[in-house]
Structure 1
Amino acid sequence: MYSENRSTASLSEMDYLDVKNLAQTGEGTYLEFKRTIPSAYKIAREIAAFANTQGGTLLIGVDDDKSLVGVLGYQEQEYLLKKATEELCRPKVDIVIEIVHFGDRDLLVIKVPEADNKPVFVHDEDEETVFMREKDQNKVASEELVKIIEKRNSDEGVTFEYGPKEQKLFRYLNEYGEITVEKFAQLVDVSRARASGTLVDLVTADILSLFRKDNVDYFTYS
């Protein structure tokens, strides 16, 4: 059960008009709003996506049409937020919860910082998933992107060979501009896992970059 004396929420310096003006800017890379929190797992996905990207703000008590409807008491919402950040997000995400009162209702302004220790995984039973923020949506990160994030946030350096396989890769990129893991594996006749590892190392070393198109990862020159 939620215990009110465990609350970490504080009154916001924002007022009703501030929240209304913010909501009018619309959802995007740094802003998401919801009428209410549907479940701890669903809000954990939002929080993790912001934390894995560049941070952002969640507004609770704002409808899809940007109108401010508020919630009757913020305690249940805060309980779900704490469950999401402390139990479902790993590592834990330290959010700031601010309350804006209007009438008998409350608006919640949740500030999500960019994580220092990426990636943040969302755990659901036996599964763990990494979400990223892309415009106004949360996207599941690919296996390659997760590895790139992990390598960039580790203290280990990146080394790679420049051999015949890499030469074939660069010749292909010079001609076609982009390549997938599967195409690279086929091109140099190696397993998908080995092709993935090579491309991940080249992205981590800032030689290549990764972009997503039609839910497929492509690699190209940085």
Structure 2
Amino acid sequence: MIDFSKTTLEIIQMGEGLTVEFKRTIDSPFKIAKTLASFANTSGGILLVGVNDSRETVGIVSELRELQKLEQACESLIEMELRIRCKSVSFGSKKILRIEVDESQDKPHYAINEKGDRIIYVRIKDKSVPTNRLMLPGEGDAVTEKLLLSKPVKILLQYLKRNDALTDKELSNMINVSEKRAMRLLHELESKGVVLRRGSGKTALYSLKLVN
């Protein structure tokens, strides 16, 4: 989960990732709606407008124009209603916008695209990607629900909300079980549509699944 107490300079030095994104400018309210909704649907995040992909502070030309596009995104292009925090930050003669989004308790939030389609986006690494739906509490079968409530799985899910992926060895160390048991647990969660496996063997990585 993003630490909102970090300074804007610290956020820039962190670089883009699961909870941080940079934009030179808000070129489209539709694109910014996608980013904001994906933060809310995942682990929250900070969007800095006026910073390029190389972490260079380029500044914004018109704060008013940026805020107008941001307002359009929040008021017309995101469902359910999404509240954000926005402030202007000065770096010498340049100004950037810092936009903070909490992980939402009302997820999923839909972003509306140029065609009028309502799409759920989530964060994977430093990208906002579409999915059909999210795995929400109370939606799985009884066995899956019981599994999700177990302590090892709660620890795993909290970790994957803050980090992109982990291996079975990392999970075994985290919950203090053998690698074999950790692998069985991950395979069970994979079969239930909770996690997604990338790769195979000991180098396989597991991340939160986008449930179809």
Q: TM-score, normalised by structure 1?
A: 0.60
Task: Give the direction of change, closer, same or farther, for the CA distance of 1:106–1:147 in structure 2 (3 Å limit).
Answer: closer
Residue aligning to 2:97: 108
Contact 2:47-2:99 within 8 A present in 1 as well: yes
Task: Give the direction of change, closer, same or farther, for the CA distance of 1:35–1:148 in structure 2 (3 Å limit).
Answer: same
Aligned equivalents of 1:88, 1:218: Cα separation in 2: 26
Question: Where does 1:1-222 land on structure 2 (aligned, <5 Å)?
Answer: 18-102=7-91, 104-124=93-113, 125-141=115-131, 143=132, 146=133, 148-149=135-136, 152=137, 159=142, 177=187, 203=192, 209-211=194-196, 213=198
Q: Which has the larger radius of gyration?
A: 1
Across the two proteins, how many residue pairs are aligned to each other? 158
Structure 2 SS opposite 1:111: strand
Q: Look up the equivalent residue of 2:36 and give its one-letter code.
A: I
Contact 1:20-1:67 within 8 A present in 2 as well: no
Q: Look up the equivalent residue of 2:121 and give its one-letter code.
A: F
RMSD after superposition: 3.4
Q: How much does 1:25 deviate? A: 1.1
Q: How much does 1:93 deviate? A: 1.0
Gaps of 5+ in 1: 1-12, 161-173, 181-198
Aligned equivalents of 1:85, 1:93: Cα separation in 2: 6
Give the % identical residues: 32
Gaps of 5+ in 2: 144-183, 200-206
Deviations for 1:41-88, whole angstroms, at most 9, x for unmatched residues?
Answer: 001111011000010000010011111111123111111111111111
